[in-house]
Amino acid sequence: MMLSMAEKPLQPKLLTALTLVASGSDWDSAADAVGITSSTLRRHFNKDSRASEFVERVVRENLNTANNVLANAAPRLADELVQIALDRKNKAYARTAAIGECFRIMNTNLIEQQQRKQMAQIREHLAALEDGTEPNVIDV
């Protein structure tokens, strides 16, 4: 019995090349790094759904990692931004930009907090409708 391309596990060097592509390398560089041609790499990506799914998963993981790094640094970045805004030794345009950014961040956070609250109310309303109970009125 012969296995089709989709039934064989993806080769480690193909996974490495796809990881490189998902991390920002161009097709030629990624293929060269593992000793295959870029046309072979593209063919696997285009014809084997597992390859494209793998790339999507690596991209999602890279974005999650980047978001975690930013989230962990957010308090220090906020402190730095406030220090720039309050330091009278800085040029007025730099302070003004930092102050404006502080207010934009606060405004965005407030809006997102309100949206999360509204989404929770909508979910409760939908759950009540699905359960057949009388839902509370939503104030949106």
State the DSSP H helix or E strand holding residue 8, giving kind and residue range, or none if neither: none
Structural domain harbouring 58: 11-73
Amino acid type, 82:
V
Query: How many domains does the structure of the chain reveal?
Result: 2
Contact by Cβ (8 Å): 6, 17: no
CA dihedral defined by 95, 96, 100, 102, rounded to 10 degrees?
10
Tokens matching residue 118: 């509204």
| Residue 3, domain member (yes or no) | no
Same domain (yes/no): 69, 91: no
Residues of the chain falling short of pLDDT 50:
1-3
The pTM of the full predicted model, rounded to 2 decimals, is 0.59
Question: What is the pLDDT at residue 97?
Answer: 94
Given this model, what pLDDT does residue 133 score? 80
Closest CA to 63 of 27, 23, 25: 23
- Asked whether residue 19 is assigned to any structural domain, the reply reads yes
**Residue 65, domain member (yes or no):** yes
| Phi, psi of 91, deg, nearest 5 | -60, 150
